[in-house]
Chains A and B, each alone.
Chain A
């Protein structure tokens, strides 16, 4: 293939877009509409998922230890743990896969937090000694809320552990919500993509069918398959490219506007709901949209042109 032929074929691809401007416009509109819907839905779902994940990150398990000050529960000599001995367990806990962060809270820190919360600034006035002596603990944050019960079981298997505080309900609810969002979004995205593929392919196929005479002529005049197909491929890819850029620009502006609107007007909401930035959303959306838009443009042209090349 000579360079001048390749350049001619590329020019023909672009010229075809203008010659068949109505089909080109219909194809671009179809791709844009499908990818806009897909992008919008993805942005909403990604934010939901991010909010749930943030909530999961806040789920923690608190571990208390047997100590000599605890008179309520029975314990053996072996189970008794000092604050320093308890601290030594940290590396074992951190080594667990489901654990994202471990904070050791000394008995003094525990009293400081508790007293401030319940008695106010001058809490120390009525207490000469720390009433929470021996209540040193671990606050463990999870990377995977599903693994909470496994972690709790493991913690209880440590002889020095007296009590583990955790909320089964929170973990189950969050885990269920996450799973539900994942399944529903996967289903809807799959349907949206399938509809997009079908619509885009049909529109491109229609445009190419309208030029079956041209393709047939090329074959009668001795064009190679590559020569006959290439302008249509260029056309399909360019239409796919334009059809992808338009909704991405639209979603970018819309998302930025919606985000700043929510942050400004609903400050309370944005304090505890962490919305994804437009960059975070586009990190996934851009490659997938280009892959779908240009990919379908490319494959749609090739398969549609092939039908008419059989002469």
Chain B
């Protein structure tokens, strides 16, 4: 690591200590291409190693929040810090390096269906130019961790829903991100698989990764008793440690 890279890393660590691993400071954002407000003066702080649920009805601003955290869109007002990066000052060239610090899991899995489980997970490593010998070591390790040790040769399209989501989680984790962002990760799963996936996410969190789960599923939120941030019409209506899913009118 060069001295410059070392300084940048130290600066990011300093930001994480001061502001948390995710920080929104009076953020106002609009729906892309419109002037309708999606998030209005939202402030929140998530510390390193936390497990947080973000809940809310449709149109409450959950998707906008995810887009902001991934720097897909920029806020109209306010500052955002994610993983020590100050997103408002991040150049287009550096966005790709910033995104390597976040693992993303989607509701619809978004696997490369024609490729094997191994290729799907290795794909994430190749993007960050990991040497092949490391990929060969890391991929089986992470597949074992998500409970798919013998499935690396299987085609992604042949897997069951729960297994596909495990592959997606393995892909999100293989690059060792500091944050795992899961957008409705159980939306397409049955109750049994839902519980298993949430248990896996909890285990990942216990290993030190900050986990942010955006969900509609009140049952898992109520069962797991983690921190719950509830959004309502673009504002935070409640933020409670060990909270429940509260239905808003």
Contact = CB atoms under 8 A, between A and B. Distances in A.
Given A222-B97, A223-B96, A217 B112 contact: yes
Interface string A196-232: 0000000000000000011011111111110100000
Interface of B: 70, 72, 93, 96-100, 104, 110, 112, 114, 123-124, 126-129, 131-132, 171, 175
Residue among B70, B93, B96 having the largest count of chain A Cβ atoms under 10 Å? B96
A221 B111 CA distance: 12
A216 B96 CA distance: 12
A71 interface: no
Contacts of B70: 220
A218 B132 contact: no
Interface stretch (A1-9, A157-165, A294-302): A1-9
Given A213-B110, A214-B112, A311-B72, A221 B175 contact: yes
Contact of B99 (A8, A221, A225): A221
A54 interface: no
A217 B167 CA distance: 14
Interface in A214-260: 214, 216-225, 227
Nearest to A223: B127
Residue among B99, B126, B175 having the largest count of chain A Cβ atoms under 10 Å? B126
A13 B175 CA distance: 23
A5 B114 CA distance: 22
Nearest to A213: B110
Contacts of B124: 221
Contact of B132 (A4, A213, A220, A222): A4
A217 B97 contact: no
Contact of A219 (B96, B97, B112, B129): B96
Given A4-B132, A227-B127, A311-B72, A219 B110 contact: no
A19 B112 CA distance: 11
A221 B127 contact: yes
B133 to A, nearest CB: 11
Interface of A: 2, 4-5, 8, 19, 213-214, 216-225, 227, 311
Contacts, number: 46
Contact of A225 (B96, B97, B129): B96
Contacts of B99: 219-222
Contacts of B126: 5, 8
Nearest to A220: B104
Residue among A213, A220, A224, A225 having the largest count of chain B Cβ atoms under 10 Å? A220
Contacts of B93: 224
Nearest to B99: A222
Nearest to B132: A4
B49 to A, nearest CB: 22
Contacts of A218: 127
A310 to B, nearest CB: 9
A19 B128 contact: no
A222 B104 contact: no
Contacts of B97: 222
Given A213-B110, A311-B72, A222 B96 contact: yes
Nearest to B100: A222
B128 A222 contact: yes
Residue among B100, B104, B128, B132 having the largest count of chain A Cβ atoms under 10 Å? B128
B125 to A, nearest CB: 9
Nearest to B72: A311
